[in-house]
A and B are shown apart, each in its own frame.
Chain A
Amino acid sequence: MMGALSVLLPIAFSIGIAARKPVPLTMKLPHEFGATVDAFPKLGWSKTDLWPGQHIVTSLRRSPGGSYAVVLTAPDLARPDVLVYWVGGKSTGGAEPLENARLLGAWTIGVPLPLPANTINESGHMILYSLATHEIVASSEVFAANKD
């Protein structure tokens, strides 16, 4: 038995390692999935310091119809099932999003998250919340879409 294992196991192990497929990695969703940047062609601003302690680039884009969307890009942020919320006012430092938090959508790099119309003139901040670990991943500084 040992003789057979000595021959077969190394072969099977080598085949298994050699035949590995590369892990698929994409920085951007295909345009078939979700909203596209094309729907919000005008760039309002782009900030790299909106999220303390995080390397997240936040862009505010505007559609021809006057609606706004935020696009978040964070190559270093690897968290499962991240949702983006909008909360009016300053951050209170809680462990869970407030009840008045507005869900903007699931965070995907490069995919615009439309801001609700009644938040355009309101100062508030965004929260990244991991649905898998039930924790707030990051909180942004306060900003207002049409004032910055």
Chain B
Amino acid sequence: MGLQYSAVQWNRQKRIYDSVLAVAVGTFLVLFGLFTEALFPYVTDEIMLIRAFGAAAFLLLHIILCIGPLCRLNRRFLPLLYNRRHAGVTMFLLGLVHAALVIITYHAGGDTNPIFSIFSGNPITVHIAGVPFQPFGFFALVILLLMAATSHDFWLTNLSAPVWKSLHMLVYVAYGLLVLHVTFGVLQAEVNPLYGVAVGVGLAAVLGLHVTAGFKETTTDRARDAEANEDGFVDACAVVDITENRARVLCLAGERVAIFKFDGKVSAISNVCQHQNGPLGEGKVLDGCITCPWHGYQYLPETGASPPPFAEKVPTFNVRVKNGRVLVHPKPNTAGTRAEPARIAE
């Protein structure tokens, strides 16, 4: 979180993340060039560069898309999530170089406007394999451009979180377009099964991880609520089931609630971080604040509000502790409303 907008708030983790990213991308490009030179010496430098940057962008997009579900399945992958947006912008830049080289090589030498030529260069034929593949890449790049341009928290704040998130969910549309771009593009000419298998494996990995993570999450959401008592409170869990300074997450009336235990007290807030919908219940209490594991946004457990001068707020839930059990009222309080923590009896 920042008091004023700056391009990048550098810290040690971001520097390490970006350094690894830069080295990995550079190494991939160099290795791609060397392998192309060795295995396909007749390929011109222009073609090699087009394929190198395109392959790098496509591979990086697969990695980026796998980070989210991997973090849902195993918390060890959380460090990859922290600076994922830098990887996204890098991926867009690689794609942009690929597109620029394609336009210069194939579309800029004639009388036709190069951008118009992308759409007119492949006339639609009756054969499936004649599907024009370049427009798929064009529209994918447009989506990635919008995402890269709005990746900063400035846009998250000014567009509002729901709008920003909806825009960035278009990455899946971009991914679909790029799979079509590759399938009906380079894979039509490169008939070596290795290339088709590689794309198929990538597709299976992305879809498989998302489906697996989705099943894991819906298991939590579909667990039946316990019956409410006469006050409307629901028996959530035993106090001992909650680790100190950590939370237990459960679904109440369709909403995920994070119940934190700290300093001999219990508080319950919404599990959804106001920043980018991170899982607050997977975070911990640091310096008296519930800290989101994704990007470190913090909330006071008593009010669900970020400590001043920050303004983010999440809904709170009324809690009680009775006979070693945590009782939670499923109706959320308005975001930022104080809900007195329940003391754990000695």
Contacts and interface: CB of A to CB of B under 8 A. Distances in A.
A33 interface: no
Interface string A9-25: 11011011101111100
B184 A1 contact: no
B179 A12 contact: yes
Interface in B178-204: 179-180, 183-184, 187-189, 191, 196, 199-200, 203-204
A96 to B, nearest CB: 18
Contacts, number: 63
Interface residues of B, number: 28
B149 interface: no
A135 to B, nearest CB: 11
A12 B181 CA distance: 11
Interface residues of A, number: 22
B67 to A, nearest CB: 15
Nearest to B40: A78
B42 A20 contact: no
Contacts of B196: 17
A140 to B, nearest CB: 20
B42 A79 contact: yes
A130 to B, nearest CB: 8
Nearest to B195: A17
B207 A6 contact: yes
Contacts of A23: 189, 191
A133 B37 CA distance: 13
Nearest to A78: B42
B224 interface: no
Interface in B122-136: 127-129, 131
Interface stretch (B92-100, B109-117, B168-176, B334-342): B168-176
B275 interface: no
21 contacts: A2-B210, A2-B214, A5-B172, A10-B203, A10-B204, A10-B207, A12-B180, A12-B183, A15-B128, A16-B129, A16-B180, A16-B183, A16-B184, A17-B187, A17-B200, A20-B187, A21-B127, A23-B189, A23-B191, A80-B44, A132-B44
